[in-house]
Amino acid sequence: MGKKTGFMEYVREEEQKRNPLSRQNDWKEYSQRFSEDTLKKQGARCMDCGTPFCHMGLELNGLTSGCPINNLIPEWNDLVYRGRWKEALDRLLLTNNFPEFTGRVCPAPCEGSCTVAISDPAVAIKGIERAIIDKGFEEGWITPRIPKDRTGKKVAIVGSGPAGLACADQLNQAGHTVTVYEREDRAGGLLMYGIPNMKLEKDVVERRINLLSEEGIEFITSTEVGRDVDAETLQAEYDAVVLCTGAQKHRDLSIEGRELKGVHFAMDYLTGATKNLLDSESEADEYIVAEGKNVIVIGGGDTGADCVATALRQKCKSVVQFGKHPQLPESRTDDNPWPEYPLVFSLDYAYEEAAAKYGKDIREYCIQTKKIVGDENGRVKELHTIQMEKTFDDNGRAVFHEIPGTEKVWPCDHVFIAIGFEGAEHPVLEAFGVKTKQNKVDAPYGTYTTNVEGVFAAGDARRGQSLIVWAIHEGREAAREVDRFLMGSTVLP
């Protein structure tokens, strides 16, 4: 695939990024795609490796390795190298319903397992993927695919995130009549309100929603199943129901001062910021403003990074992000071999922006918040922390110890809790009477069936907080099983 000696002749290039200081003045996407000449060279680096690990889609030691939706990566790399863009788009869409999303916000486990990455920087798979789909829209190659025949079967999908949308897309193309219910005022789930605009502009999401609508899918927004519409009503009106509600039950902090004003869940902050940006009909108290404030983000993951970038755009006075673990190494360690996802240090877009503004990395590692202290009005004014040392016990389990004398007080006006999610929210699950296990819908992988006849579950609601590509993977697979349930056999992959 590609040029046989391309990986030796060309170096990896990154997508161009807008200036990290100037881009803080707007909410537009921070990255820009490659030129066509650069794309051909990057596609040429795909090395015809014989056994491509990039699209294997496995979990190794708890980390995703390769592409969970099994994208035919070497094939479309080769086609881009040869300038056969329409064919590249056709190959990409065989496995991925929404490359415009994954090409922007997926962490690219495919690149971590790229064979070139054994000794050199990986092929720029994610950037090539984004370029293919963007060119497809620009050239008018992507048009509504309206099914010729309808089966007469009706399916309700609860939740319009990537799993729900993928499931809806597949079932609609199979000829079923699909209705998607979304409790927010816009469809898209976390694609719309959980991922900030600078990573995924909302007109990209709306473009896809509009296309799905043209293809026959009905979206009912501002409707919470279990409150605005009964579960019994859906079960009576539809031949099958698929629960794709995500895993939005926040993991909370149980420390002194948690109840103070100014302490928020990160997702509430990000959702409010996007709603305000879109001029949505949101309540005034949902919009949290960090302008002129000292901000502390607790949690070292992507959601925390998005809070940092959002606070910068709101002109915060300062921002610091607390992480539980030590700084990652510059290169793979012996216990993190290829083709596992590489656990190595990187400067995410948000940290690049913060470093440009403050002249340093604003992340604090191996730090624990001991308590939150408020003023006489019950509003947060400072955080008290201590540094931690990470060691391992005889069984290889991580153990953290406080380091005496490292106590510190941090002035603070806003605290954003970004320590992950515990699983699915239960009210809608209880409304359908589905069984849960460890705060997730109890539905076996591969069949996606719940204990309730005709009710299925997929995505984060079933597997817990995960990657967008796993959500798309499960949405596609659940659609196949729903089709089999409705028709006795299935035409879906």
Tell me the percentage of the chain whose pLDDT exceeds 70.
98
Tell me the percentage of the chain whose pLDDT exceeds 90.
94
Q: What is the pLDDT of residue 17?
A: 94
pLDDT at 415 over 90: yes
Reported as a single tens digit per residue, the pLDDT across 263-274 is 999 999 999 999
**Taking residues 54-82, what's their average pLDDT?**
95
pLDDT tier at 406 (50, 70, 90 boundaries)? very high
pLDDT tier at 281 (50, 70, 90 boundaries)? low
pLDDT at 283 over 60: no
**Taking residues 382-386, what's their average pLDDT?**
98
pLDDT at 282 over 60: no
**Taking residues 237-252, what's their average pLDDT?**
96
Q: What is the pLDDT of residue 267?
A: 96
Q: Is 63 exposed, middle or buried (0-12, 13-18, 19+ CB in 10 A)?
A: middle
pLDDT tier at 287 (50, 70, 90 boundaries)? confident
Q: What is the pLDDT of residue 279?
A: 83
pLDDT, averaged across the chain = 95
Q: What is the pLDDT of residue 285?
A: 52
pLDDT at 247 over 70: yes
**Taking residues 355-366, what's their average pLDDT?**
97
**Taking residues 226-240, what's their average pLDDT?**
96
pLDDT tier at 165 (50, 70, 90 boundaries)? very high
Q: What is the pLDDT of residue 89?
A: 98
Q: What is the pLDDT of residue 284?
A: 46
For the chain, domains (ranges, CATH) are: 6-138 (1.10.1060.10), 154-248+422-487 (3.50.50.60), 252-419 (3.50.50.60)
